Structure 1
Amino acid sequence: MVRLGLSARLVAIAGTALLAIWVTLLASYYLSNGLRSAASLPAPGQLAAIADIIRAAEPAARPRLIEAFDSAILAVRIEDGLAGSNAGLEVDVMSDARFAPYVERLGDDLLAITMLARNGERSRLPLLFGGQNNPVEFAVSIDAGDVLILETRTPFLVTPYGLPVGLGAGLMGTLFALAAVVILHRELQPLRRLAAAVDEMDPAATPVPVPDVRFSAPETRTLVEAFARLQTRLHQMLAARLALIGGIQHDVRTFATRLRLRAEQIPDEGERERAIADIGDMIQLLDNALLAGRAGVGSLDEELLEIAPIVEAEAGNDGSAMASRTLVVSGSAASAMLIGDRLALRRIVSNLVDNAVKYGQRAHVTLDVEDGWIVLIVDDEGAGIATQDRELLFEPFVRLEGSRARKTGGAGLGLAVVRNLVEAQGGRISAGDAPGGGARFTVRLPIFLAARQAL
C-alpha cells in the first residue's frame, strides 16, 4: 500500500481546498449571471429579427427559413391562429417582469408568452434534484391569421438554482471530500499524541498521560486504552521485580554474613582472605544489582545534597606514601548542590575510583562546575580504552580484559551500574582519553536550579 508522506498529504489537502474554492467561484458565477435565463431564453432582438425575416418572406420561402432557424434550443413553427390552453399545463407569464424586454421590443405583435409543461408535469413545480427548465413559448403575429411560435428548449439538466447538474455534483463531492479530510485529521490527532506518549514512556518514570479519546472512533479508543493497560502492567512488573530482588538481597546478605563468620575460622591466612574477598564481591554484586534495579524503576531517593563532601569521602587521598588517589575540587564546585540519591552518588564515585585504581594504578579525580552542570572527571594511568570499546564498556557483565579482570576481581557490573545511576538522576557519562594517556570517565549531573542561577 502506498504511504503518503507529510508533504504529499499537505499537497492533497491544499488541492482539495483549491478545488472547493474553484467550484464555489464557478457556481457563484453561474448564479450571478443567471444561467437559467441565459441558457433557455433567446434575446428579445433575436426573436424580433426572426419574426421580421419570416414576415417579409414569401409564403413559399417560409418553410426553408423555419428549417434554418429551428435548432436544439429554439423550435420555430407557424400556426393558423393562437392555440388555446392545454389542460391547464400552460401558464401565461406575459406579465412577468423578466419578460418585460420582450413585450417592449415586439410590441403589439407579441400575442402571448406561455410557460409550458415539463415532461408531462405542471409548470413551475419545484426541481428537487434537477431537470430541464420549463419551455417558454412566444407567440408573434406575422400575418393576418398566421402566428409564429418560438419555443425555447434546454438541452441540458439544471438544478433548482439554475446550475448544471454536473457542477452541483462536483460541488457536493468537494464538500464531502473536505468533510472527510477534517474528520480524518480529527481521528489522526489522538494517534499522533499516542505516538508521542509511546516515545516518552519510561518504565522507570511516572506513567505518561494518554490522549483523551472519548469522542474518537471505537478502534482508536481501543488502541489507546490497550496502551494505557500495557503501561500499567510494565510498571507493576518492574515494581514486583524490584521487590523480589530486594527480598533475595536481604536473604543472601544474611547467609553471606554467616558464611563470612565461618570463613574467618579458616586456618590458612591466604585462603581465609580470598574467601572473605569473594564473599565481599558477592555482597557488592547484590548491592549493585539492587541499586541498578531501583534506578530502573525510578525508586531512587531525592534530596538536596552538596556534592563535594560525598566525593571527598569516597575519593579523598588515602594517606599512603604513594597516594593512589588525588582529588581537586574547584571553588565553584565546593558549594555546588544537586537533587539526587546519596547512596547512588556514593556508588557512582566509588565505582569509578575503584576501577581507576584497579586497572590504572592511580585515580585522579576532579570536581568542577561547567555551564550549569556538575562535572566529575576520573582519570587513571593505565593503557586507556580503545575508541570502539568505549560504549561496550558500559554494558552489564562486560570486561575488556578477562585475565586482568580475574586477577582484580569483579563481575563487570560496576560501569553499567554507574551509567544507570547517572542517567536515572538526569545526567550522562562518557569515556575518553586522559591527558596522561590513560582512561578518562566524565560524569555530568544537573546542578540544582537555585545554585545554577547564582552561578
Structure 2
Amino acid sequence: MMFRLSLSRRLVAIGGAGFLALWIVLISFYYLANGLSRTASNPPPGQIAAIVTLLKSEPSARWPALLDAVSSPILDLSIIENDLGPENALDLWEDPGYGIYREVLGGDLLSIRLLVPERRFRRPRLFQGVLNPVQFRIRLSPDRVLVMETRTPFIVSWFGLPAGLGAGLIGTLFAVAALIVLHREIRPLTRLAAIVDRIDPVGAPVVLPKLKGAAPETQALLKAFDRLQTRLHAIVRARLALIGGIQHDVRTFATRLRLRVEHIPNETEREKAAADIDDMIELLDNALLAGRAGVGALDEELLDLVPLLEAEVMDRRAAGAHLTLAALPPETAMVIGDRLALRRVFANLIDNALKYGGAAHLALAIEAEWLRVTVDDEGSGIPADWREVLTEPFVRLEPSRARKTGGAGLGLAVARNLVEAHGGRLEIDDAPGGGARLSVRLYLFGSR
C-alpha cells in the first residue's frame, strides 16, 4: 500500500535525508583527517617498540611512572609477572592484519588476542570497540611481561569503520529515495504547466493528466485548474452571447430610429440624427469585434487582400472622399483571417486618415513573409511620443471628444487588437510626403 504523504511531509523527509547525508560526509572527513583506519585504531608498531625500548632502558622502579605517562583512554598498559593469557580471548597471531607487529617486535611479542565477553571465541557480529579490546603481551625481562590493551574511543563496525558511516550510508539511501519521490512530484507539475499553456478559453477543453500516487496538494492543484478551465469557457460563452444579443437588439432599435428620423422636417437635423445612428452602430461593431478578437473567436478563411482593399476604396470614392490606391503587385496577396475583422481594420484606418488628414493614399507590398498595407494621409502627422499610446482605447490627440472633431477614440485601438489577433503588427510612422503613415503587416499565406 502506497503511503499518501503530503508534499510538506515529503519535503521534511528530503531534508532529513539530506541531514543524514551531510552527517556521513562530516564523519568521513573527520575519520580520514585523523587517520582513524582499522590499523590506526591499534597502536602503531613503532610506538609499541619505542615503549618497550624505553622500559627496558630504565630501572624497574621507574616503570609505574612511565606507564602512567604513556597510558591513555585508548591505550592501557600494565606489567605482570607471568604470561597466563585470558580465558575469553580470540587469538589473532595468524591474522594477516597483525603481521607487522610480529615483524617489528620479533621474539619479544608473546601473543595478540581479541578480548571477547562470550565464552565462544568468535569475532563480534556487528560492532567492536570499547567492549572488545585487543591485547598485546610483550616480554620485558625473564620475569616481567608488558600487557598492552588498545581500545577504540568510538564504536566501529566489523569493517573497522565508524558506525556513523553506516548511519550516513542509510541516510544517503533515504536521500536517493527522497529525490526520486521529489522527481515524481515535479514531473507531473511540469506536464501540468505545459498543458495549462495550451488552454484556450474559446476552444475545446484540454484534457488534464491523471496523477496517480501524487501528493494531495498536487491533485488539488490539478482539480483547481480543471475548474478554472470550465469557468473560463462558461464566462467566454456568456460574454459573447451577451454582446451578440446587445448588438442584435441595438440594431433593431437603430432600424426603428432610422424610420422615425425620416419624419424629421429639418434636413440638417435629419442628417445629424442619421449620422449619430451610424456612429452608434459602428461603435457597437467595433466593440463586438474587439471582444471576439480578445478571446480568439475570430473566423478564419483564405482571403485575397486586393479585392478587399479595392472595395473599401470604391465605397468611399462614391461618397466623394479623396482616396488613391497604388499599383498593386501582380502576385495574389493571400492571408488567413476573418473577412469582417480585416475590413474593419482597413475601414478604421482609412476613415481615420480622411477625418484627420483630409486624404488617404493606400499601397500594398509583399516583403518576404509579410504583406504590408500602408495608409498615408496629408495631415500634420502624429508626434513620436503619442504613437505608442494612441492605439489605446479612448485616447485621442484632440482630447475634447467632441463629435465635430472625431469619434470616441476606439478606431486605432480596435484596429491594433484585430491585427494582433491575426498575428500581425500595426505601426505608426511619418509619411514620405508629410502627414502620418499607418502600416499593417500580416503574414503572407504559405510563409509559415
Query: What is the CA–CA distance in structure 2 between the aligned matches of 1:131 and 1:121, rounded to whole Å?
Result: 18
Residue by residue, what CA displacement relative to the aligned partner does 1:5-33 show, whole Å, maximum 9, x if unpaired? xxxxxxxxxxx9xx98x9499579959x8
AA at the equivalent of 1:139: R
Residue by residue, what CA displacement relative to the aligned partner does 1:97-141 show, whole Å, maximum 9, x if unpaired? 33334345555544332211379998732345x854731112233
Displacement after TM superposition at 1:238 (Å):
1.8
Query: What is the CA–CA distance in structure 2 between the aligned matches of 1:137 and 1:317, rounded to whole Å?
Result: 115
- Change over 3 Å in CA distance of 1:411–1:83 after alignment to 2: same
Match in the other structure for 2:9: none
Query: What is the CA–CA distance in structure 2 between the aligned matches of 1:431 and 1:287, rounded to whole Å?
Result: 24
Displacement after TM superposition at 1:434 (Å):
1.9
Query: What is the CA–CA distance in structure 1 between the aligned matches of 2:327 and 2:120, rounded to whole Å?
Result: 102
Alignment of 1:54-453 (within 5 A): 54-55=55-56, 58-86=59-87, 89-103=88-102, 106=105, 109-117=108-116, 124-127=123-126, 131-132=129-130, 134-164=132-162, 187=185, 203=201, 214=212, 216-316=214-314, 324-331=322-329, 334-402=331-399, 405-407=402-404, 410-449=407-446, 452=447
TM-score (norm 1): 0.78
TM-score (norm 2): 0.79
Q: 1:443 aligns to what SS in structure 2?
A: strand
Displacement after TM superposition at 1:445 (Å):
0.8
Q: 2:417 aligns to what SS in structure 1?
A: helix
Query: What is the CA–CA distance in structure 2 between the aligned matches of 1:206 and 1:447, rounded to whole Å?
Result: 27
Higher alpha-carbon deviation: 383-392 or 305-314: 383-392
Query: What is the CA–CA distance in structure 2 between the aligned matches of 1:119 and 1:265, rounded to whole Å?
Result: 124
Residue by residue, what CA displacement relative to the aligned partner does 1:134-154 show, whole Å, maximum 9, x if unpaired? 311122334444322122222
- Change over 3 Å in CA distance of 1:300–1:235 after alignment to 2: same
Q: Work out whether 1:35 is the aligned partner of 2:37.
A: yes
In the alignment, is the contact (CA less than 8 A) between 2:305 and 2:333 conserved in 1? yes
Query: What is the CA–CA distance in structure 2 between the aligned matches of 1:283 and 1:163, rounded to whole Å?
Result: 89
Percent of paired sites with the same residue: 55
- Change over 3 Å in CA distance of 1:286–1:75 after alignment to 2: same
Displacement after TM superposition at 1:210 (Å):
6.5
Q: 2:263 aligns to what SS in structure 1?
A: coil
In the alignment, is the contact (CA less than 8 A) between 1:239 and 1:297 conserved in 2? no
Residue by residue, what CA displacement relative to the aligned partner does 1:234-285 show, whole Å, maximum 9, x if unpaired? 2321221111111121122122112212222222222222222222222222
Query: What is the CA–CA distance in structure 1 between the aligned matches of 2:295 and 2:319, rounded to whole Å?
Result: 43
- Change over 3 Å in CA distance of 1:216–1:441 after alignment to 2: farther
In the alignment, is the contact (CA less than 8 A) between 2:329 and 2:364 conserved in 1? no
Q: 1:76 aligns to what SS in structure 2?
A: strand
Query: Structure 2 unaligned runs (5+)?
Result: 1-17
Match in the other structure for 2:14: none
Displacement after TM superposition at 1:92 (Å):
2.3
In the alignment, is the contact (CA less than 8 A) between 1:23 and 1:171 conserved in 2? no
Which protein has greater RCO, CA pairs closer than 8 Å, 6+ apart? 2
Query: What is the CA–CA distance in structure 2 between the aligned matches of 1:24 and 1:69, rounded to whole Å?
Result: 30
Query: Structure 1 unaligned runs (5+)?
Result: 1-15
In the alignment, is the contact (CA less than 8 A) between 1:115 and 1:123 conserved in 2? no
Q: 1:435 aligns to what SS in structure 2?
A: coil
In the alignment, is the contact (CA less than 8 A) between 1:113 and 1:138 conserved in 2? yes
C-alpha RMSD of the superposition:
4.0
In the alignment, is the contact (CA less than 8 A) between 1:40 and 1:133 conserved in 2? no
Query: What is the CA–CA distance in structure 2 between the aligned matches of 1:441 and 1:119, rounded to whole Å?
Result: 100
Q: 1:253 aligns to what SS in structure 2?
A: helix
Displacement after TM superposition at 1:357 (Å):
0.7
Higher alpha-carbon deviation: 273-282 or 114-123: 114-123
